[in-house]
């Protein structure tokens, strides 16, 4: 029997790599539904190849056009379409690979439908981690990490007693500007920011890596996924991206997960967990060819956004929601050439300074804070 997969964000970087795994293992996986943005040619290709039940697009007109081309497939659109794809098919696993807090509602609906979640959409856990984790516990639904760091932690924790953890250590490549000083950051361009040294990822994630906000989001994600206090989550600069993260236990033993940087490995592990299968066209790790691995203490003054994320996480409640929404808009403004790189973190800080935290928010409050923080950032450039 094949495992039935629904996929949010099929034409993005994680989506494409997820499809690669599904297509390489037709005896193991079937794609039953997916969502995509505005890459209509990409949607045509995936739809003809996989013949899914349901496809969701952002715009109504795109959905209607493709409906006439593929009468056997059901086309839906918008936010409701995402929920439809995530929760209202017969999927066994939802791979949530959309970017941003737009992934929140479909994730919650899929959990309530009892569908296992493979989560690559870190903004959902940052915006509403307490609610998502509580629902997952309530419905007994596993949340399997797809982010390479969290997959590494998850693997290092296999069979361990979580009470014996002393620290989670997230590794960080440092992103495109790791060797620049804060002064040098003022003149960097979008093109420079998008050139990540190790990983090939989507644009938002690549910019988040350059500001180090990505690591900040991952710290909050780890806090929720592994129930770990912020004082026991550390970050370590490791420019080769070979050690994907580590867990230190009370007896000082450290378990690490290593591998060549290839996002398909954590994606596939989430799909086959607790089993493993061979990885097609993979580059096995040969440490003798790499020779040296480097590590450096993380500098929270240099990487200000990471400090902001720790502060938001420690404050909890709606503060991470506001921080995440501000970051999403600031990154979009930077990519549109409307603000300099260095202003991303300043905008996030201003939103956080202005935000009055609600400590145990319901979903409605979360969505309201998310929307207000976005408006506040747009107001700063108008
Ligand atoms: Mg990551």
CATH number of the domain where residue 29 is located: 3.40.50.720
Residues 11 and 80 in one domain: yes
Residues 132 and 253 in one domain: no
149 CA to centre of ligand 1 in angstroms: 5
Is there a domain that residue 113 lies in?
yes
* Crossing angle of helices 363-381 and 319-335, rounded to 10°: 40
283 CA to centre of ligand 1 in angstroms: 19
pLDDT for the residue numbered 1: 86
What CATH number is associated with residue 329?
A: 1.10.1740.10
Residues 311 and 335 in one domain: no
Q: Distance between CA 139 and CA 90 in Å, rounded?
A: 17
334 CA to centre of ligand 1 in angstroms: 21
Is there a domain that residue 220 lies in?
yes
Sign of CA dihedral 309, 315, 321, 325: negative
Is there a domain that residue 274 lies in?
no
Structure token digits, residue 224: 């929720």
User: Among all chains, which residue has been given the structure tokens 């921080």?
Assistant: 323
Residues 193 and 231 in one domain: yes
Q: Distance between CA 293 and CA 290 in Å, rounded?
A: 8
Q: Distance between CA 136 and CA 150 in Å, rounded?
A: 17
199 CA to centre of ligand 1 in angstroms: 10
148 CA to centre of ligand 1 in angstroms: 5
Residues 216 and 308 in one domain: yes
Residue 339 is given by DSSP the state S
Residues 38 and 178 in one domain: no
Residues 116 and 217 in one domain: no
Q: Could you give the number of structural domains in the chain?
A: 3
Is there a domain that residue 218 lies in?
yes
Sequential pLDDT tens for the chain (382 residues): 899 999 999 999 999 999 999 999 999 999 999 999 999 999 999 999 999 999 999 999 999 999 999 999 999 999 999 999 999 999 999 999 999 999 999 999 999 999 999 999 999 999 999 999 999 999 999 999 999 999 999 999 999 999 999 999 999 999 889 999 999 998 899 999 888 877 767 789 999 999 999 999 999 999 999 999 999 999 999 999 999 999 999 999 999 999 999 999 999 999 999 999 999 999 999 999 999 999 999 999 999 999 999 999 999 999 999 999 999 999 999 999 999 999 999 999 999 999 999 999 999 999 999 999 999 999 999 8
Contact criterion met (CB below 8 Å) for 179 and 239: no
Cβ neighbors of 319 (< 8 A, separation 6 or more) are: 311, 312, 313, 352, 355, 357
What's the domain range around 364?
A: 317-382
223 CA to centre of ligand 1 in angstroms: 14
330 CA to centre of ligand 1 in angstroms: 20
Residue 8 is given by DSSP the state E
Domain boundary among 89, 111, 141: 141
Residues 126 and 180 in one domain: no
DSSP string covering 312-364, please? HHHH-TTHHHHHHHHHHHHHHHHHTTSS-TTHHHHHHHHHHHH----SS--HH
For residue 234, give the H/E element and its range.
strand 233-237
Is there a domain that residue 67 lies in?
yes
Contact criterion met (CB below 8 Å) for 188 and 177: yes
Residues 159 and 308 in one domain: yes
CA distances from 270 to 37, 96, 313, 369 (A): 24, 11, 26, 31
Residues 300 and 198 in one domain: yes
61 CA to centre of ligand 1 in angstroms: 34
Q: Which residue(s) pair with 167 in the sheet?
A: 248
71 CA to centre of ligand 1 in angstroms: 38
Q: Which residue(s) pair with 165 in the sheet?
A: 249
201 CA to centre of ligand 1 in angstroms: 10
182 CA to centre of ligand 1 in angstroms: 23
Is there a domain that residue 326 lies in?
yes
pLDDT for the residue numbered 200: 67
Is there a domain that residue 271 lies in?
no
Residues 173 and 305 in one domain: yes
Is there a domain that residue 270 lies in?
no
Q: Which of 178, 172, 186 is CA-nearest to residue 215?
A: 172
Q: Distance between CA 157 and CA 137 in Å, rounded?
A: 19
Residues 178 and 133 in one domain: no
Helix (H/G/I), strand (E/B), else coil: 232? helix
């Amino acid at each position: 029997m094949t495992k039935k997969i629904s996929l949010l964000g099929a034409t993005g970087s994680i989506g494409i790599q997820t499809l690669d795994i599904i297509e390489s293992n037709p005896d193991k996986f079937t794609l039953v539904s997916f969502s995509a943005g505005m890459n209509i040619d990409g949607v045509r290709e995936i739809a003809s190849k996989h013949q899914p039940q349901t496809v969701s697009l952002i715009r109504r007109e795109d959905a209607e056009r493709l409906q006439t081309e593929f009468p056997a497939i059901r086309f839906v659109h918008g936010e409701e379409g995402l929920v439809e794809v995530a929760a209202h098919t017969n999927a066994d696993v939802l791979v949530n690979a959309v970017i941003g807090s737009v992934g929140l509602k479909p994730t919650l609906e899929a959990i309530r439908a009892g569908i296992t979640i493979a989560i690559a959409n870190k903004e959902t856990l940052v915006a509403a981690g307490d609610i998502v984790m509580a629902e997952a516990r309530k419905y007994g639904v596993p949340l399997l990490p797809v982010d390479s760091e969290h997959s590494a932690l998850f693997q290092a924790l296999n069979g361990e007693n979580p009470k014996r953890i002393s620290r989670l250590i997230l590794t960080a490549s440092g992103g495109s500007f790791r060797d620049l000083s804060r002064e040098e950051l003022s003149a960097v361009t979008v093109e420079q920011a998008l050139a990540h040294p190790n990983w090939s990822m989507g644009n938002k994630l690549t910019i988040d890596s350059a500001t180090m906000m990505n690591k900040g989001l991952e710290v909050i994600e780890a806090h929720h996924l592994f129930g770990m206090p912020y004082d026991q989550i550390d970050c370590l600069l490791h420019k080769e991206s070979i050690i994907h993260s580590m867990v230190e236990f009370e007896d000082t033993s450290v378990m690490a997960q290593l591998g060549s940087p290839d996002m398909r490995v954590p994606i596939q592990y989430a799909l086959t967990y607790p089993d493993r299968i061979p990885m097609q066209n993979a580059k096995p790790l040969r440490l003798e060819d790499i020779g040296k691995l480097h590590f450096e203490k993380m500098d929270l003054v240099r990487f200000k956004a990471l400090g902001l994320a720790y502060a938001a996480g420690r404050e909890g409640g709606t503060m991470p929601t506001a921080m995440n929404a501000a970051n999403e808009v600031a990154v979009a403004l930077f990519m549109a050439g409307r603000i300099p790189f260095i202003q991303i973190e300043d905008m996030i800080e201003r939103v956080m300074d202005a935000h009055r935290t609600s400590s145990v928010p319901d979903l409605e409050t979360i969505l309201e804070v998310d929307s207000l923080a976005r408006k506040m950032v747009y107001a700063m450039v108008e």
